Every structure is written in structure tokens, then in C-alpha cells.
């Protein structure tokens, strides 16, 4: 017995109601009321912040569904991570190593956007330096699923950035209380120091605020469900987060020569993630669009996650029929998708016309799945249209910039009138005085100034202080 053809909404740009329907599609359900999730996550955060390990264990037992006896049961340390690595067959270890090496090779090519120190015309020395964060926490979806790729795509860039300690959190299987060996092995190869068997909002709380067992981090990164996303939003400001992540999404741009089979495969590769995943086909040829829909129906049958993918396609999928390639490109850029697949002639030539996507997959030999696992750039990408202003996770995600300013007497004197004028305009007299007192000291007779303290070396020589 064959499954019924999924019902997918079809939008035509020539239709009078297209602007309204396109606006709703672009919203991706962002107008949905998530008050209950947000309020529930806030209660969990408050509990764990106040109750530490005891509250973390209570929520883990209630929500993750397994029964850790003590907080020590939550911890997988270096020995357990290494044992998981050794337990995998050689082919699995090779896959993790090749992926990790490619991710590292790509991210080592990143350069810091800093200002190298320089001295300006007035004699002021200015610059900007970049420093790694001290400790970061990575959230890895788990339970009955396994996402070792998410470990690699977050931990490897953090290690390249120079982060001193990388820890991870992932919910354990509710039947066994264990985290999948692939995930643990990925932690080992990516340089994660410890993994905590905890999930949901309680894991975010423990990472943000710290408990007796879980160390507080400076930043939390990685994808998760609606509860994880809500919790990350709520702790932002106390710690940093990578982004406000939503369900996975893909937009496939197909011209008249595109393969319906390839387009359907890329759509389903996103749809199988989650019932809330968004899969959109923007096509310039209606025959290709209809053939792609037929291929989606055919390829759905027998998928291990068929029910999830089918519901995603029916509830969140769409076909958009554009009047030519130029319009299709404009629509793709307007949608600002997490993943943008270009199945069109001269696909590489379209990239300069695009500015808003998390990642672009160019040509028919570049399936989006290659980016999920092994291409090199991190697969943690902005979703829900935030590619309009947000960027993929990278080495820069785990570093912060710090400005360095050193004025000379001449440059301070030259800029003092500007400071005094602006401080007066803002009514901040102490700001002006902070400059003025230094000018007065510089103008005082040399004899009236205190000589700098000098220290005597063990050999009897004196040394002035060195800046």
C-alpha cells in the first residue's frame, strides 16, 4: 500500500495574493505563541540557579527520563570519552577523524578582524587585540538520537580559537542513562574535556549559572529543541550564546534543467530532521516543480523517519513558481535561508548576486548533506530569516575583541578641547575634569611633580618602571 501524496502549498509569483502568501511563508511560524515553553523554561532556569546539583538532578530525572543517583553520574570524563573512541570500528573512527580534520583545516584559515596597533598623526597609539573565551559549553541534541557532527562542528572551531576548556551537554537515553558512543567519541577527537549527561532547559541553566558539579561557562553554543532555544534566549546577557536557533531549513533554487530527483533529495534531507523543519523549492519551470513533488512522494516511502519528513513537507513545505531565474534569485535572497542549494545552470555565477544565506551549496554535485558532515565550514547556521544579519558559527564565535588605547601628552592636549566640548554637551563634567587634571599636571613645573618610584636591583642598579 502506497502512502498518499503529501499536500504541499504552491505559490505563483504572478498571482494577486502572492505578496501575502510569501510573507506568511517567510515568517516560518515565527508568529506562533511559545509563551508556555518560555515560561516553563524560565521556571527551570530559576530552579537550577537556586538549587544547583539537587535541582539539576530532579529535572533530569523528570524530563530526561533516567535516574542518576548522584551528580557524578552525569559526568563523562576523558577516560570514558577515549574508551568510546576505541570502541568504534575503524571505519567510524576514520569518518570522525576525516570530518574533524577538514573542519579544522577550514577554520584555521579564518583571520581575526582586528586593528593592528598603529600610532596616529597626534602620537596616540591605538589598536585592537583578540582573545579566546576561557570556557564554553556546547549543547548536543541526544536521547534516542545521535549527532556527533554537531560536536565536531562546534568543538573544533572552539579549539582552533584557543578556548581553554570546552565542555558539552547532551541528554542521555532514558532507557540506559547513557550517551551514544559516537557522540562521546566525537567529543574525544574534537578536544572536549567533559560531557554532562543532561538535556533541555536544565542543561542550559547548569552551563549558564554553574552547579557544584557543572562549571559555569562564558558562552553556550549548539542547536536544540524549543525548550533549549527558549532557555538560551533567557540566559543571554548572563552568558553569551551563538544565536537564536530555530528549526532546520533549506531553500532549493531549481531552473528548467535541474534534476527533480536531486531537488527532492535535498528537500527531504531537511524535512527528516524535525516536523517543524522548512523545505522550500523555488522553481522557474512548473514541469520541474511537479516532477520534484512526485519525487518527494516516491523518496518518502521507506525512509526511517518517513512520518516526520512527511509532516514537515505537508505543514511547512512549499513550492514557489518564479517567472525566470532573476526573480528566483531575488526570492531566495529575500527568504534568507539557513541552507541555499543552487540547482541551476551557471550556479557559481549566481553567488555574487546573493547576500543573505547561512550557507550556499553551488551546483548539482554539492548536496546540502555534504555541508552537514564534512565540507569544512561549521554547519551551525542562522535560521528563521536571521541570515539577514547573522553569520555562521566560526572561530570568531569563540573569541572577543578588546580595544587598546595609549595617549601621549601631545595627543591628549590636542584632543582635550574635543572631549571638553562633547562632555559639556552631555552634561558630564567629571569626564572633562578627567582630561583637565592631566593637562594641569603636564603643565606644572618639573620640580613640582613627584618623581617616579625607582626600585633597586639585586646588583645595586636602579631601574625605572617600564610600561
d(CA 92, CA 86): 10
Residues with Cβ within 8 Å of 238's Cβ and at least 6 positions away in sequence, in order, are 208, 209
CA–CA gap between residue 341 and residue 354 (Å, rounded): 12
Q: Is 319 helix (H, G, I), strand (E, B) or coil?
A: strand
Across the strands, what pairs with 297? none
At residue 332, φ and ψ (nearest 5 deg) are -60, -45
Residue (of 313, 316, 318, 346) closest to 332 by Cα position: 318
Question: DSSP string spanning 367-392?
Answer: -HHHHHHTSSS-S----TTGGGT---
- Hey, which bits of 310-358 come out as E strands? 318-321, 339-343
Residue written as grid cell 557543572: 214
- If one counts every other C-beta atom within 10 angstroms of the C-beta of residue 129, the result is 14
Candidate list 107, 188, 273, 339, residue with the active-site label: 339
Handedness of CA 112, 95, 269, 145 (dihedral sign): negative
Neighbours of 73 (CB within 10 A): 16
Within 8 A by CB and 6+ apart from 255, the residues are 283, 284, 285, 288, 325, 328, 343, 344, 345
Give the residue from 271, 270, 269, 224 showing the smallest Cα distance to 244: 224
Helix (H, G, I), strand (E, B) or coil at 19: helix
Look up cell 499536500; give the residue: 7
Counts of helices then strands in the chain (DSSP H, E):
16, 17
Location of C-alpha cell 558539579: 213
Kindly name the residue from 338, 406, 431, 440 that is annotated as catalytic. Answer: 338
Please confirm, yes or no, whether 188 is among the known catalytic residues. Answer: no
Q: How many residues does the chain have?
A: 467
Of residues 316, 303, 230, the one with CA closest to residue 276: 316
Q: How crowded is residue 341: how many other Cβ atoms within 10 Å of its Cβ? A: 32
Annotation says 338 is catalytic: yes
Active-site residues, by number, are: 338-339
Amino acid at each position: 500500500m502506497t502512502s498518499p501524496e503529501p499536500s504541499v502549498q504552491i505559490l505563483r509569483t504572478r498571482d494577486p495574493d502572492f505578496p501575502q502568501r510569501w510573507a506568511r511563508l517567510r515568517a516560518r511560524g515565527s508568529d506562533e505563541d511559545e509563551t508556555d515553553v518560555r515560561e516553563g523554561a524560565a521556571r527551570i532556569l530559576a530552579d537550577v540557579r537556586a538549587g544547583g546539583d539537587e535541582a539539576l538532578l530532579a529535572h533530569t530525572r523528570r524530563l530526561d527520563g533516567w535516574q542518576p543517583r548522584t551528580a557524578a553520574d552525569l559526568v563523562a570524563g576523558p577516560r570514558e570519552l577515549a574508551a568510546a573512541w576505541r570502541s568504534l570500528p575503524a571505519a567510524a573512527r576514520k569518518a570522525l577523524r576525516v570530518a574533524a580534520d577538514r573542519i579544522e583545516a577550514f577554520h584555521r584559515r579564518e583571520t581575526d578582524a582586528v586593528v593592528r596597533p598603529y600610532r596616529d598623526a597626534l602620537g596616540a597609539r591605538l589598536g585592537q587585540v583578540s582573545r579566546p573565551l576561557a570556557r564554553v559549553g556546547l549543547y548536543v541534541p541526544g536521547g534516542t538520537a545521535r549527532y556527533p557532527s554537531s560536536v565536531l562542528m562546534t568543538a573544533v572551531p572552539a579549539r582552533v580559537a584557543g578556548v581553554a576548556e570546552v565542555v558539552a551537554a547532551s541528554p542521555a537515553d532514558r532507557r540506559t542513562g547513557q550517551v551514544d558512543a559516537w557522540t562521546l567519541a566525537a567529543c574525544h577527537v574534537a578536544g572536549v574535556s567533559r560531557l554532562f549527561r543532561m538535556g533541555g532547559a536544565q542543561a542550559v541553566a547548569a552551563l549558564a549559572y554553574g552547579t557544584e558539579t557543572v562549571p559555569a561557562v562564558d558562552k553556550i553554543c549548539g542547536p536544540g529543541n524549543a525548550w533549549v532555544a527558549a532557555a538560551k534566549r533567557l540566559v543571554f546577557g548572563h552568558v553569551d550564546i551563538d544565536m537564536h536557533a530555530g528549526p532546520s531549513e533549506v531553500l532549493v533554487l531549481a531552473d528548467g534543467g535541474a534534476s527533480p530527483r536531486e531537488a527532492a533529495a535535498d528537500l527531504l534531507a531537511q524535512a527528516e530532521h524535525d516536523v517543524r523543519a522548512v523545505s522550500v523549492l523555488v522553481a522557474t519551470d512548473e514541469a520541474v516543480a511537479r516532477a520534484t513533488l512526485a519525487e518527494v512522494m516516491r523518496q518518502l516511502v521507506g525512509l526511517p523517519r518517513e512520518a516526520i519528513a512527511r509532516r514537515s513537507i505537508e505543514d511547512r513545505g512549499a513550492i514557489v513558481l518564479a517567472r525566470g531565474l532573476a526573480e528566483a534569485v531575488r526570492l531566495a535572497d529575500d527568504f534568507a535561508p539557513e541552507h541555499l542549494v543552487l540547482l541551476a545552470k551557471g550556479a557559481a555565477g549566481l553567488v555574487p548576486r546573493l547576500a543573505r544565506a547561512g550557507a550556499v551549496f553551488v551546483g548539482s554535485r554539492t548536496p546540502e548533506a555534504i555541508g552537514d558532515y564534512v565540507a569544512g565550514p561549521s554547519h551551525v547556521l542562522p535560521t528563521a530569516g536571521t541570515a539577514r544579519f547573522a553569520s555562521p558559527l566560526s572561530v570568531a564565535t569563540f573569541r572577543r575583541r578588546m580595544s587598546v588605547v595609549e595617549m601621549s601628552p601631545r595627543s591628549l592636549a590636542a584632543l582635550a578641547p574635543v572631549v571638553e566640548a562633547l562632555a559639556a554637551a552631555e552634561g558630564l563634567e567629571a569626564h572633562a575634569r578627567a582630561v583637565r587634571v592631566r593637562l594641569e599636571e603636564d603643565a606644572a613645573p618639573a620640580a613640582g611633580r613627584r618623581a617616579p618610584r625607582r626600585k633597586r636591583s639585586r646588583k645595586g642598579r636602579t631601574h625605572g618602571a617600564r610600561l
